[in-house]
Amino acid sequence: MPPRIATARRLVLNAERRFLRARLTYGHGTDNARDEAVFLVFHALGLSFNTADAELDQLLEPAQMAAVEVLIKARIAQQRPAAYLTGRMWFCGHEFLVDERVLVPRSPIGELINTRFAPWLDIGQVRRVLDIATGSGCIAIATALAFPWVQVDATDISPAALEVARENAARLGVADRVHFHLADIYPTPREPYDLILANPPYVPQAEFDALPAEYRHEPALGLVAGADGLLVLRRLLGTLRDYLAPEGWLVMDTGATSDALAEAFPDFPFTWVALAHGGDGISVLAARDLPRVRGDGTSRQLLE
């Protein structure tokens, strides 16, 4: 039940308590009940995250309380990620439109964008970027916004996801520098990129089947990658050399499948990045360190 005398602060605490009681799962931009409550209550009340403390203690109108209650009830009853209820998610300081056509943006690649990919590469030298499996376009668009001199191509196999991505690029004013392609991993024609970014699907089918309800609202196409999670990654790495400039870099988010990836591709000297804001599974790899490949573009291990 919501409190009878309500301020934003009280509604946050009330929502937190109810979320904990309902044993919800987090992981779509927040990792705890308090932050999830703040996200939803602030959205319903139109508050920004730098709202002054005093404003949080002002009495609310019944209509404001009702707007909050709708979201809190829906979050508990439907177990949908909060971002699908608000239709919005923040990534690298920008607000993206999201719905069930796309994964909720949360990749730790955002931290590398914010830190200019230092110390791995000199972003000032980068001109052409490819974002593979772009979903909402969050990584492609945030990269274009952070580095106004780059041109970005972005691919996705889902036409529905690309609709969302194109809308985000237009809203955020980079439609002229971010080009979306309906493509299976790589776009055509084949061109060399200075930087390839990828947060592809990498969840093994059995793990996906056991995920909490919240993840079932996301498009399975964005998560599942065969029995071992490597279905898309195997093909991505198989022809990587054809798309990476000689001084280029690959930056990937492979989450919990990173150990399996490293084990399956011992010839690829991935460097695993320690992130200040947490999160695992981010690797960087320089084109110059790629293993030698056979004539068909595959390395020994890719054929095994």
Ligand X SMILES: C[S@@+](CC[C@H](N)C(=O)[O-])C[C@H]1O[C@@H](n2cnc3c(N)ncnc32)[C@H](O)[C@@H]1O
Does residue 168 interact with ligand X by CB under 6 A? no
Stretch that binds ligand X, among 6-14, 28-36, 37-45, 131-139 (CB under 6 A): 131-139
Residues 189-208 that bind ligand X (CB under 6 A): 199-201
Residues 67-126 that bind ligand X (CB under 6 A): 102-103, 105, 107
Burial of 107 (0-12, 13-18, 19+ CB in 10 A): buried
Question: Least Å distance between CB 27 and ligand X?
Answer: 13
Q: What's the rounded Cα separation, in Å, for the pair 83 and 7?
A: 23
Does residue 281 interact with ligand X by CB under 6 A? no
Does residue 139 interact with ligand X by CB under 6 A? yes
Contacts of residue 40, defined as CB under 8 A and 6 or more positions apart, other chains included, come to: 15, 68, 71, 72, 75, 82, 85, 86
Cβ neighbours of 242 (radius 10 Å): 12
Does residue 130 interact with ligand X by CB under 6 A? no
Does residue 133 interact with ligand X by CB under 6 A? yes
Does residue 11 interact with ligand X by CB under 6 A? no
> CA 301, 270, 128 angle in degrees (round to 5)?
105
Q: Which of residues 30, 155, 257, 299 is near ligand X by CB under 6 A?
A: 155
Question: Least Å distance between CB 184 and ligand X?
Answer: 5
Half-sphere exposure of 16 (CA within 13 A, CB side): 14
H, E, C per residue of 64-103: HHHHHHHHHHHHHHHCCCHHHHHCEEEECCEEEECCCCCC
Stretch that binds ligand X, among 27-35, 120-128, 149-157, 257-265 (CB under 6 A): 149-157
Stretch that binds ligand X, among 69-77, 129-137, 241-249, 265-273 (CB under 6 A): 129-137
| Kind and range of the H or E run holding 253 | strand 244-253
> CA 226, 87, 163 angle in degrees (round to 5)?
60
Does residue 257 interact with ligand X by CB under 6 A? no
Does residue 138 interact with ligand X by CB under 6 A? yes
Does residue 134 interact with ligand X by CB under 6 A? yes
Stretch that binds ligand X, among 42-50, 64-72, 136-144, 241-249 (CB under 6 A): 136-144
Cβ neighbours of 262 (radius 10 Å): 15
Say which residue the tokens 């730098």 belong to: 50
Q: How many residues bind ligand X (CB under 6 A)?
A: 23
In the complex with ligand X, the residue whose CB is nearer, 11 or 102, is 102
Which residues in this chain contact ligand X in the complex, by CB under 6 A?
102-103, 105, 107, 133-136, 138-139, 155-158, 161, 184-185, 199-201, 221-222, 232
